[in-house]
Amino acid sequence: MMASLASNKGGDGAKKKSMYNLKLTSAQVDKLGDVLHARGWPTREVQYARHAFDGDSVKVVAYESGKLVIQGKGTEDFVTNILEPEVTGEFKMGYEEVNHPEWFEPHAGLDESGKGDLFGPVVCACVIADGEMVKSWMEQGIRDSKTITDGAIMKMARSIASTKGVVIKTAFTGMEKYNELYLKFGDNLNKLLAWLHGKALKDALKLRKPEWGLLDQFSKQPLVQKYLEDSDFDLQMRTKAEEDPVVAAASIIARATWLQQMKKLEELAGCKIPKGSGSQAKGVATELFKKIGESRMPQFCKMHFKTAYEAMGKPPPAKKVWNPKWKK
């Protein structure tokens, strides 16, 4: 469980938690709904949420993914008086250092952004932090960037970057270079992603070298680790690694950097560019193709996306046949 906190001073001078988030099981999400419906809490509609309630000085949103976000002055009372005793049965608020001591050890966190977007590069970020830095970020509500609005991401990224002692490195390329590298790595996005992660990590380790780091896993193969073969650094990886606050900070830095690059692309294109790779992105790509022609599309789009070719009215090139004996 990762607690993400923003704090206010109470009347006694103690910090009052005004934000908290954690992962619930599907059964716990249902139980939370039953508990708050029974109390007569007002509900509202929130995209991708199974339950959303507005209580007295607190807002509670439980997403289909199991992510629970609690915000407001009444956060601490809600967690200690309702959530923990009646829903989770676990009393963890304020015990993060006991339950997850590794979060506060010096370590690196790695994550990326832009992988699923038709427009814009893939940005990999590495953050190295420990102790008081992590505590400060948790109090500010820093968490997985996928749960945060773009405006808040930019604000949090500035806060992370201004933290005393933090090490931050990013790795990405312009779009034309990105498309060249994708082909160089054998039409294999994971290998390109591993190269970018390896570059960001090695640059960060030149400034500070903790004993270990955590990567948000994107492949079962140790692709990034091969760039550390001459090092004793222990790079671990697992899915949903953003529960670790340092990985969450890396996810925010990566997303903020991607947003900055998207803004530059919008200025170059002269139009608003949507995120993702759905119908809106395809529509903008189609109009852009009419305006600039095929030769300039690699300046904006990931050309290995089927959507890029659909936007140009062309069939996508045939995928290479995967050969398990072939290794780059």
Span between the terminal Cα atoms of the chain, in Å: 38
CA distance 198 to 147: 26
For residue 127, how far is the Cα from the chain centroid?
A: 13
31's enclosing H/E stretch is helix 26-38
List pLDDT tens digits, range 209-244. 999 999 999 999 999 999 998 889 999 999 989 889
Does the global pTM surpass 0.75? no
- Residue 122: how many CA atoms within 13 Å on its side-chain side? 23
What's the pLDDT score for residue 324? 45
3-class DSSP state for residue 140? Answer: coil
Confirm if 171 and 199 have CB atoms less than 8 A apart. Answer: yes
Residue 161 has pLDDT above 90, yes or no: yes
Pick the range with the lowest mean pLDDT from 96-100, 176-180, 271-275, 303-307: 96-100
Residue from 54, 60, 6 nearest 28 by CA: 60
Fold of 7-98: TATA-Binding Protein (3.30.310)
Q: Which CATH number fits domain 102-262: 3.40.50.150, 3.30.420.10, 3.40.50.10490, 1.10.3720.10?
A: 3.30.420.10
Confirm if 1 and 92 have CB atoms less than 8 A apart. Answer: yes
Q: Which amino acid is at 191?
A: K
Q: Which amino acid is at 30?
A: D
189's enclosing H/E stretch is helix 189-205
**Domain extents in the chain:** 7-98, 102-262, 264-311
| Domains 7-98 and 102-262 belong to one CATH topology | no
What's the pLDDT score for residue 318? 74
Residue 16 has pLDDT above 80, yes or no: no
What's the pLDDT score for residue 326? 41
Per-residue tokens: 251:
């996810």
